[in-house]
Structure 1
């Protein structure tokens, strides 16, 4: 996808290699605006600029002379930064080097361009987090400032020396004031409870105290909540438990429960319009996606989206085929569903919000005995599966790179006693897995997973839901489990 410009020196260096992840169709060139940045002229639709940037929205609401001009000049920006902003507005996902990052942050802050800000947040990694944080602080891009600070806090042990050499004291103080994200878990077969019952101990959300190597209780599930065949995910540091079943007849739980970790409180919300269980739940950009599932002995392909801000559910494009318990993950701000078809074929589809469709990304043929899991790290998708035939106690892993479109098999195999790798959760460059025997942390390095440390196992029997939560700043001192 090209951007129209009378001069674009060096502007094709990286942006054109970004994929058009949303497939946005071109609009009629009726109401176009020429924007001059440095000595480069860009021609773009006014509608796209107004929808994507608060700066242009305010300009065309102001009634000022500039809003009637066919051409305006932006004095405070660099051409490269504006070129990147237009690419993101059009649905591309460009990779950025250090110079690109600085110019993109400046542009996002000046134009108040939410799509570009979100793209920058999704690009924060261990290679650029310090630059992102410092530059966002300089230009006052608060969303990115906070996201980069949290990323740094989550891997502070590994980069503290570099932080102290690179950042000014006030920025270091802000990072150190934050709580890191804790590895947390709750049993996956907890049905609706009764106060004081013998199952009360299992109805707790626990977190791993890494310094003390102990699992501790964070909060109790609401009595009406069930994690059995429910959808469980975290969005904006809120834990959502949606649907699920109760009783021997698998009656569907209609409600949705939300735990606000910042305030340490639970609230109840309406569940999906279509009752469902054994579905996948993904949180992204202020929305929850309920994907597939079962109801009345029927496997479904339907997908619903909850707009968290309004509390309203709406239907979205169906999956390509019915699926229950489909493995889902996020990477580079995109949502992926990994399904295991007959004939040993693994298919990865991406949901494209702008066009409301599922697109086939890639397929892989591999022998396996049962099950699979997928997690995202940077622009890589890692697919874990059990070995073929009687090798179900070991876990094989393949990596799909979204930028190159290439598969690679990770060397060796990983022990998968009681499905530990099927609970993998990524935090910065670490991956946490667990079972009742042990919690294992791996470090992702050049696409390989290297064991880092072993900690205490989860003190509950059976399978679990795992996720990351930043703990409340003030809470009742937790008890050991």
Structure 2
């Protein structure tokens, strides 16, 4: 929704400057007065990131030639948060800052601020964000937060029902994420089909694993890259057999249509690599070729169906442990002598940055998951005891390591297949599927259900399945964003008088 109209642009046009009629050439900086506090802000930065200011500077109004503008529609807390985000910071926000930031994002239309708010949604602030975003008409944020709440509905049910009825109805109309799994399988043939080659989901109501779809005959999940992007499952690479001949075609499963499609594989053939889905792209990281570890990285842009090479990993690596949180990509690289480096990949700069190093004797990171602003690294026990998983937590905000108490045996639930949903972590092996609750850097066993019952490497992930695909769960059909939010609240809407003339 636009936050300006002809009614608010009723002032006189800019003085004649020989430029295109109705447009103004922005000055280098602008003073913005918010509740008596004056900020000197780069005008180009505002025009690039805020729909409100971009419209103002092109409006033909006299305000676009003024050196100071008074904003009446936002508070100082929200404006300060916006400036920090536009400056590249990722601030942790308290409740007052969250409310102010949502108000600012809604009135000034700041996509970068909305993205940051979505990135920091967690169980502590999701209800506040959801209610506030719906009140101010920040629909993208409200929808994303509602999805998060839907995934944690069992834990938040009592608090959710304290919200306005229409907001509760919308949350309940959404489809929660399902815990998914697929084992490693080589390609088969029509004559010798392997009916174990299936993608499965956990029916949590009935506590059993069920088949969602069968893998395409020519696909391989053995040493393949497996990732979910925009609720579609991607399988890239993989090998045919012990010869390590790589499958060159990529496969994509769309649960909405229950169909598989193909796309081209990476330019450099690889297997035993890590595949990550992030903001419209797939990242193929490291891997092996002819038994040699690789450092090359490629990105597949879904919109134009093409692969391109990126900056290499700091060192060659195969089967790299990785995690995503707050729209950030992290990987573990083993240095040797008990040291595991954690690097972040920054897509905007195409750059790998060393974040921290974990040093544990005779041990290295095997798996990594993220929860809120923390990374949990699972590693082998002393003397390479792979039946014993130990865990350490690195907090990105405090830059501190914490040793997670307890020992996690693979005989109970393999942490090498961990997936986070809300405040829960799911793990599984052949015998048992275990759900842990994350509480103050501790993992507490929450419940146990049937094991996956398959052999081989297991890939796990989350997807939202259509009602037809998961009909036995009684989950309702998802609604579209536009239809779902119409008339949710009759609360305040955007003001058309957001500034005072000076």
Matched, 1:319 2:316: no
What is the TM-score when the length of structure 2 is the normalising length? 0.84
Equivalence for 2:83: 86
How far apart are the structure 2 equivalents of 1:288 and 1:205?
Answer: 20
Gaps of 5+ in 1: 1-28
Equivalence for 1:203: 197
Q: Secondary structure at the match of 2:85?
A: helix
Contact map agreement 1:262 1:470 (CA 8 A) in 2: no
Question: Compared with structure 1, are the counterparts of its residues 125 and 47 closer, same or farther at alpha carbon in structure 2 (3 Å cutoff)?
Answer: same
Q: CA deviation at 1:288?
A: 1.9
Equivalence for 1:365: 359
Equivalence for 2:116: 119
Q: Secondary structure at the match of 2:200?
A: strand
Matched, 1:169 2:145: no
CA offsets 1:287-316 (integer angstroms, 9 cap, x no match): 222111122333221222223333232222
Equivalence for 1:17: none
Q: Size of the alignment, in residue pairs? A: 448
Pick from 426, 442, 448: which aligns with 1:432?
426
What is the TM-score when the length of structure 1 is the normalising length? 0.88
Contact map agreement 1:279 1:324 (CA 8 A) in 2: yes
Gaps of 5+ in 2: 1-25, 474-502
Pick from 142, 146, 160: which aligns with 2:143?
146
How far apart are the structure 2 equivalents of 1:142 and 1:368?
Answer: 50
How far apart are the structure 2 equivalents of 1:105 and 1:48?
Answer: 19
Matched, 1:282 2:276: yes
Question: Compared with structure 1, are the counterparts of its residues 294 and 59 closer, same or farther at alpha carbon in structure 2 (3 Å cutoff)?
Answer: farther
CA offsets 1:412-452 (integer angstroms, 9 cap, x no match): 21112397100000000000000000000000000000001
Question: Compared with structure 1, are the counterparts of its residues 48 and 297 closer, same or farther at alpha carbon in structure 2 (3 Å cutoff)?
Answer: farther
How far apart are the structure 2 equivalents of 1:227 and 1:344?
Answer: 30
Equivalence for 1:9: none
Q: Secondary structure at the match of 1:145?
A: helix
Equivalence for 1:77: 74
How is 1:151-300 mapped onto 2 (pairs within 5 angstroms)? 151-164=148-161, 166-187=162-183, 189-195=184-190, 197-199=192-194, 201-300=195-294
Pick from 359, 369, 376: which aligns with 1:375?
369
Matched, 1:308 2:302: yes
CA offsets 1:234-271 (integer angstroms, 9 cap, x no match): 12212111222223322222222222233333222232
How far apart are the structure 1 equivalents of 2:412 and 2:248?
Answer: 30
**Runs of 4+ displaced beyond 6 Å:** none
Contact map agreement 1:35 1:74 (CA 8 A) in 2: yes
Equivalence for 2:98: 101
Contact map agreement 1:52 1:115 (CA 8 A) in 2: yes
Q: CA deviation at 1:57?
A: 3.5
Segment of structure 1 superposing worse, 450-459 or 332-341: 332-341
How far apart are the structure 2 equivalents of 1:411 and 1:179?
Answer: 34
Contact map agreement 2:228 2:234 (CA 8 A) in 1: yes
Contact map agreement 2:27 2:43 (CA 8 A) in 1: no
Q: Greater relative contact order: 1 or 2 (C-alpha under 8 angstroms, separation 6 or more)?
A: 2
Segment of structure 1 superposing worse, 385-394 or 146-155: 385-394
Equivalence for 1:25: none
Contact map agreement 2:413 2:433 (CA 8 A) in 1: no
Equivalence for 2:386: 392
How far apart are the structure 1 equivalents of 2:156 and 2:458?
Answer: 31
Equivalence for 2:324: 330
Q: CA deviation at 1:476?
A: 7.7
How far apart are the structure 1 equivalents of 2:324 and 2:238?
Answer: 22
Structure number with bigger Rg: 2
Pick from 339, 345, 348: which aligns with 2:339?
345
Equivalence for 2:440: 446
Q: CA deviation at 1:344?
A: 1.1
Equivalence for 2:35: 38
CA offsets 1:206-229 (integer angstroms, 9 cap, x no match): 000011011011112222322111
Q: Secondary structure at the match of 2:168?
A: helix
How far apart are the structure 1 equivalents of 2:443 and 2:264?
Answer: 40
How is 1:464-479 mapped onto 2 (pairs within 5 angstroms)? 464-475=458-469
